[in-house]
């Protein structure tokens, strides 16, 4: 699925005989070095606060290459470095830093570029806690936060002011999956020397190679597909060379520190990211098509579908799709919507996504948009498709529709 090649990474110095290491090979090999750890295939969990140095001179020069080696637990251990290296390599960025959650990664990445008196452009369709961070932490501290129409593409140029310091994107958008023309936005921002930050949780470093599309700082909630098993929280920021120092310094200044155990879980999840995503996107597409043909459904919001307004952009820029999408019901009462969701036996009701399990929630879109007026004309339900049997999931949804009708 997807039109973008999205497969070739630069030749790896660790595999000199292979001219171009493909992304599935990166998933299996990056971030581990058995020769360093007595042949152990996985990088072990290193727990530490203190790191000891052989001499006073070595201790006092430990900060010279601040974030490469290991110098104090808060800045990361070899387990952290392994995860960071693997994700940076997969996505094609310069370097990465791991944080305790995706939202921490968003907050730190934005904070690296804006201060009081600056102007920040934020897509109207961002994950709602990103919006809360901007409204509750940045705006009262003097940052002019402006939400923009995510569909404007290169017209973002008209919104860039002399005091604009960053453009924040999320493509596709949270809950309603509008695609952004990231290369066009990047071209406009770069013409004015402004970095593009993008929440790439949906695209994943496997399906959207941010840096080839002009993103400067890519942000992931690794809690989702990278961890993949709904058992740890993690965030990752990947940056290009130009923006790396600002990002890494900010993460250190805030004191963010992710546990090595969670890094290990994220690294373990990463090994199977490709097979899970490929399987889940197939099931998601089949379910999306099935839903589109249902009489209860007005519209499915999933750029993978040919008639989705974002399909051409998705096909051009992405190598595949996450198994997360929404659908709009024909007008239905709250009671009917609740009857549908509550009847589901295999779809859990809960936050997050990207794990092995299917989830359903009602997307209260109107609460989270200010620059655009979403008019879907019916309740919006968001589904995450997990690894369950496809037929079983469809049967569960079909039963939901029966219960919805009965409730009406």
Ligand X SMILES: Cc1ncc(COP(=O)(O)O)c(C=O)c1O
Q: Which residues of this protein are in contact with ligand X, per CB under 6 A? A: 101-103, 127, 174, 199, 201, 221, 223, 233, 235, 352
Calpha distance 330→328 (Å, rounded): 7
Residue closer to ligand X by CB (options 103, 287) is: 103
158 DSSP 8-state letter: G
Residue 255 CB, nearest approach to ligand X (Å): 17
Measured in degrees and rounded to the nearest 5, phi and psi for residue 362 equal -95, 130
Residue closer to ligand X by CB (options 266, 313) is: 266
Residue closer to ligand X by CB (options 251, 404) is: 251
CB neighbour list of residue 390: distance below 8 Å, 6 or more residues apart: 283, 286, 287
Structure tokens at 13: 């110095």
| Cβ atoms 142, 273 nearer than 8 A | no
> CA 170: distance to chain centroid?
8
Residue 202 CB, nearest approach to ligand X (Å): 6
Structure tokens at 173: 């958008």
Residue 304 CB, nearest approach to ligand X (Å): 17
> Cα torsion at 132, 134, 135, 141 (round to 10°)?
140
Residue closer to ligand X by CB (options 77, 101) is: 101
CA-based radius of gyration for the chain: 22
Residue closer to ligand X by CB (options 98, 397) is: 98
State the angle between helix axes of 273-292 and 390-407 in degrees (0 to 180), rounded to the nearest 10: 40
Catalytic residues: 74, 127, 199, 224
Residue closer to ligand X by CB (options 76, 172) is: 172
Calpha distance 105→251 (Å, rounded): 8
CB neighbour list of residue 184: distance below 8 Å, 6 or more residues apart: 153, 154, 156
DSSP for 58-82, written as a single string = HHHTTTTTTTTS--SGGG--HHHHH
Residue 213 CB, nearest approach to ligand X (Å): 17
Residue 294 CB, nearest approach to ligand X (Å): 26
Calpha distance 318→387 (Å, rounded): 22
Residue 131 CB, nearest approach to ligand X (Å): 11
């Amino acid at each position: 699925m997807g039109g973008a090649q999205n497969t070739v990474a630069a030749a790896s110095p660790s595999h000199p005989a292979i001219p171009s290491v493909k992304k599935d090979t990166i998933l299996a090999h990056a971030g581990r070095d058995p020769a360093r750890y007595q042949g152990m295939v996985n990088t072990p969990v290193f727990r530490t606060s203190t790191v000891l140095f052989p001499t006073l001179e070595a201790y006092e020069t430990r900060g010279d290459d601040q974030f490469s080696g290991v110098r104090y637990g808060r800045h990361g251990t070899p387990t952290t470095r392994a995860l960071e290296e693997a994700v940076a390599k997969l996505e094609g960025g310069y370097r990465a830093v791991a944080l305790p959650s995706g939202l921490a990664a968003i907050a730190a990445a934005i904070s690296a570029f804006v201060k009081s008196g600056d102007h920040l452009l934020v897509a109207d369709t961002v994950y709602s806690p990103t919006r809360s961070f901007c409204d509750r932490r940045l705006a009262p501290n003097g940052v002019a936060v402006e939400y923009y129409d995510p569909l404007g593409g290169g017209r973002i140029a008209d919104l860039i002011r002399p005091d604009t310091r960053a453009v924040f994107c999320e493509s596709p958008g949270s809950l309603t999956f509008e695609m952004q023309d990231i290369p066009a936005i990047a071209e406009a921002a770069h013409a004015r020397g402004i970095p593009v930050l993008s929440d790439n949780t949906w695209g994943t470093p496997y399906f959207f190679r941010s840096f080839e599309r002009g993103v400067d700082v890519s942000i992931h909630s690794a809690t989702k597909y990278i961890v993949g098993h709904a058992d740890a929280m993690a965030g990752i920021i990947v940056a290009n060379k130009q923006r790396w120092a600002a990002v890494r310094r900010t993460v250190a200044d805030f004191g963010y520190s992710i546990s090595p155990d969670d890094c290990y879980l994220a690294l373990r999840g990463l090994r199977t990211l490709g097979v899970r995503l490929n399987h889940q996107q197939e099931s998601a597409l089949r379910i999306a098509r099935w839903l589109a043909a249902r009489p209860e459904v007005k519209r499915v919001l999933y750029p993978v579908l040919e008639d989705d307004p974002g399909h051409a952009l998705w096909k051009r820029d992405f190598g595949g799709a996450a198994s997360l999408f929404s659908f709009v019901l024909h007008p239905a009462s709250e009671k009917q919507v609740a009857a549908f969701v509550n009847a589901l036996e295999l779809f859990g009701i809960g936050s997050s996504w990207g794990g092995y399990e299917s989830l359903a929630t009602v997307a209260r879109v109107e609460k989270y948009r200010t620059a655009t007026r979403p008019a879907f004309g019916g309740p919006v339900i968001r589904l995450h498709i997990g690894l369950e049997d496809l037929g079983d999931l469809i049967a569960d949804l079909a039963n939901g529709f029966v219960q919805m009708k009965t409730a009406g």
